[in-house]
Amino acid sequence: MEYIPARADSEATQDERGSAINPQSQIQIHGEKPLTCDAQTYSREGAERLSQKRLYSLDMVRGIIIAVMAWDHCNDFIGIPSPSHRSGPGEFWSGPATKYQDSIVVWSARFVSHICAPGFMFMMGYGMAMLVTSRIRRGWSVLRIMRHFFVRGLVLMFAERVNNVVMALFRIASTGKFPTVAKLFIGFIWVLNVLGEVMILVGCFVVPIVIFLRRSGKAGIVAAQLVLAGTIIANFFVSSYLIETAQGSSPGATSPWPRSSIAPNSFFQVLLRFFVYPGNLMNDGANSVPIAYVIFPWMGVACFGMSMGFAKADKPTFAQHLTGAISILFLVSFTLVRTCGDSFGNLIGLPVRLDPGSSVPFISFFTLSKYPPSLAFCLITLGIDIGLLYIFGTLAFSRFADAGRAASLLNPILTFGRVPFFFFCLHLWIVSAASGVVRSFSKGLSLPALVPVWLLLLVVLYPLCKWYNGFKSSTSENSLWRLF
C-alpha cells in the first residue's frame, strides 16, 4: 500500500503516456539524451496498452496487499486466539519462536499476510519517487516537496492514534472494561506510525539529496541511486548487527533490556525502541504498549522502493524487465540465506537452529523474524510483491485486462488499491466492532468460518471505496482529502 495520493502515480504516468512509453514520442530527463522505447519491441497498439497498464499495475498490487491484510486482521480480531500462531512474541527477535500450532493450515493463514508490511513500505517509497518526479516537472520546489512528505507523515501517525481510540472503544463489549488512558490513546504502535516516521525521515533528509544529485545529469542519476543503495545497506547492517549483538547466544530469552518484554527506562532507550528494537514501550504488568515496527530496517525497504520508482520514471521499459529479474533474484537469495546463511541474515531459526519454532521442517524453514524484519523475511516477501508488480506490468496482462476478462474481480482490486489509506482505517473500525460483538459471546471464529466473513467485509467495503475514490478525485490538488 502506498500512502501517497493515488493521483500522484496517475499524473506521473500520464506525463509519460505520450512520451517515453510511446515509440513515436520522446521525453528529456535531467538534460539527458531523449529516451525512446524500442519501436521494434512494441507496436503502436501495444505501446498504448502498455501506457494504460502502467496506470493500474501499482494499484493492482496495492489492492491485493490491502485485501490480504484485511484477511489477517479478521483472523487476528475475530478468529479464535492462540498463543502460538500469532505474532508477539512468536515473530519477534527475542522470545520463543512461534510454532503455528505445528499446522500447515494455521501457518498458511498467517504467512500469506507477510507480504503486506514490506509491500506497504516498498510501495510508499515507489510512490514517493513518482511524486517527486511528477512534481519537479510541474515546478514544485524542494521545500514544498519536503513539506508535503512531512505533513503526510504526521497525518499517518495521527491517524494511527485515532484508529487506536476507535478500536479500543469498539472492543469494550468483549472485555467489559474501559481501557486505561495509555491503552486508549497510545495503544499499539504499529504500521501507520512507522510509515509516517519513515516518510518524514526519507522525505526531509534523503529526498533533497536525491533531487540535488538527479539535477546533475546522467552521472547525478547514478549517484542518487548509489545514495539510496547505501541507505538500504546501512539500514539492514545496523539492524542486523545490533539485534544479533543484543541476542547474544540466547535469541529465545525474554530479558534483560533490550528484550521485547522489557520496557525502556531512559530517553536513549526509548529512541532505541523506536529505531532498532521492537518490543514494549510501557509494561506495568497489567498493561503494555508494544512497538511492533521500528524505523531500521523498514526505512531501507522504503528507499529500495524509491530506487525502483526512479528507475521506472527514467526508463519504464528497462525498469519493467529489471523488476522481473529482481523478483527471481530475491526468491533465490532467500533460499540461500535460509540454508547457507547465518544468524546475521536470519535473526531467528535456520540455519543456526537457535530457535527453529515448529517441529515441522517445512514450517520451521519459513519461521522468520518479522519484528524487525530479517534479511530473509524481506527477500521472500519483497520477491513476491515485486513479482506481482512485474506480472501486472506485462503487456500480456494488459491485453488480458483490455479484453474485459475477469473485470468483476479486477475492478474491486483496482478500487481498493486507489484508496488504500481509506480502506485501511475503515476496515479496522469494522472488524473492531465485529470483534466486540463476536467475543462478547464466544472465543472467536474458526479459520473456515472466517473466510466468508472476510469476503463479506470486502463486499461491504467495495462501494464505499468506490465512492471515496470518486470524491477524492473531484477535490483540488491541495485538498486535505487527498491525503487519505
Sign of CA dihedral 328, 296, 131, 122: positive
Please report how the helices 116-137 and 142-170 are oriented relative to each other, as an axis angle in degrees rounded to 10: 150
> What does pTM read for this prediction?
0.85
Q: Please say if the pLDDT value at position 315 is more than 80.
A: yes
Place of cell 513518482: 130
**Alpha-carbon gap, residue 210 to 129, rounded angstroms:** 10
Radius of gyration of the chain from its Cα atoms, rounded to whole angstroms = 22
Q: Grid coordinates representing 28?
A: 528529456
Domain ranges of the chain: 6-483
**Alpha-carbon gap, residue 249 to 293, rounded angstroms:** 24
User: 286 falls in which pLDDT band (50, 70, 90)?
Assistant: low
How much is the average pLDDT of 372-383? 96
- Predicted local confidence at residue 36, as pLDDT: 34
Q: Where are the alpha helices (DSSP H) in 91-217?
A: 104-111, 116-137, 142-170, 172-175, 181, 191-201, 207-214
User: 79 falls in which pLDDT band (50, 70, 90)?
Assistant: confident
**Alpha-carbon gap, residue 156 to 385, rounded angstroms:** 22
Q: Please say if the pLDDT value at position 182 is more than 80.
A: no
Q: Please say if the pLDDT value at position 309 is more than 60.
A: yes
Q: Please say if the pLDDT value at position 70 is more than 60.
A: yes
Q: Please say if the pLDDT value at position 290 is more than 70.
A: yes
- Predicted local confidence at residue 17, as pLDDT: 32
- Predicted local confidence at residue 187, as pLDDT: 66
Cβ contacts of residue 336 below 8 Å, gap of 6+?
none
Q: Tens digits of per-residue pLDDT, 136-150?
A: 999 999 999 999 999
Q: What are phi and psi of 189, to 5 degrees?
A: -95, 110
